[in-house]
Amino acid sequence: MSIDCLFCKIIAGEIPAKMFYEDDLLIAFADIDPQAPHHFLIVPRKHICTALDLTPEDNELIGHVYQVAGKIARDLGIDEDGFRVVNNCNEAGGQTVWHIHFHFLAGRNLTWPPG
Ligand code: 5GP
Ligand code: ZN
């Protein structure tokens, strides 16, 4: 845990969040400022600042992120419609919270390219 990290505090239960899924490796909760009808943040429990800080020992963890994204989509019944999983890395990539996370977005027709 990183003392000043917002998502570490959510993982520790010190800051409330609308939890959707939890397991040993990660949690998924509703984004406070949803950009789609379904907008969850899939957040590894391990404090990793950005995608650039991933190491080979995290490969299984990142694979698991996509397994859980698929489970969320199936549980919501929107797997056939489609969804988006996105990681923002560093400032120009749109990252604002420095604990790696993956946005799960669904429930509307998502345009491309993103803004
Ligand atoms: P980023 O910009 O780093 O890719 O994504 C950070 C996300 O965290 C944003 O979509 C933002 O709305 C969300 N967020 C920021 N603070 C909180 C919070 O206190 N609770 C929840 N649930 N989401 C938050
Ligand atoms: Zn953290």
Give the residues surrounding ligand 1 with Cβ less than 6 Å away.
6, 17, 29-33, 41, 88, 94-97
- The overall pTM is greater than 0.95: yes
The pLDDT-based confidence of 1 (bands split at 50, 70, 90) is confident
For the chain, what are the domain ranges?
Answer: 6-106
Ligand 2 centroid vs 81 CA: distance in angstroms?
32
Contact 30, 50 (CB under 8 A): no
Contact 44, 55 (CB under 8 A): no
Tell me whether residue 64 is one of the annotated catalytic residues.
no
- Protein residue closest via CA to atom 24 of ligand 1: 32
Question: Average pLDDT of the chain?
Answer: 97
Spatial separation of the C-alpha atoms in residues 17 and 80, rounded to whole Å:
28
Ligand 2 centroid vs 57 CA: distance in angstroms?
18
The pLDDT-based confidence of 38 (bands split at 50, 70, 90) is very high
Mean pLDDT confidence for 21-35: 98
Quick check: 13 pLDDT over 80?
Answer: yes
Spatial separation of the C-alpha atoms in residues 26 and 99, rounded to whole Å:
12
Residues 6 or more apart whose CB falls under 8 angstroms from that of 14 comprise none
Spatial separation of the C-alpha atoms in residues 41 and 49, rounded to whole Å:
15
Top CATH class of 6-106 equals alpha beta
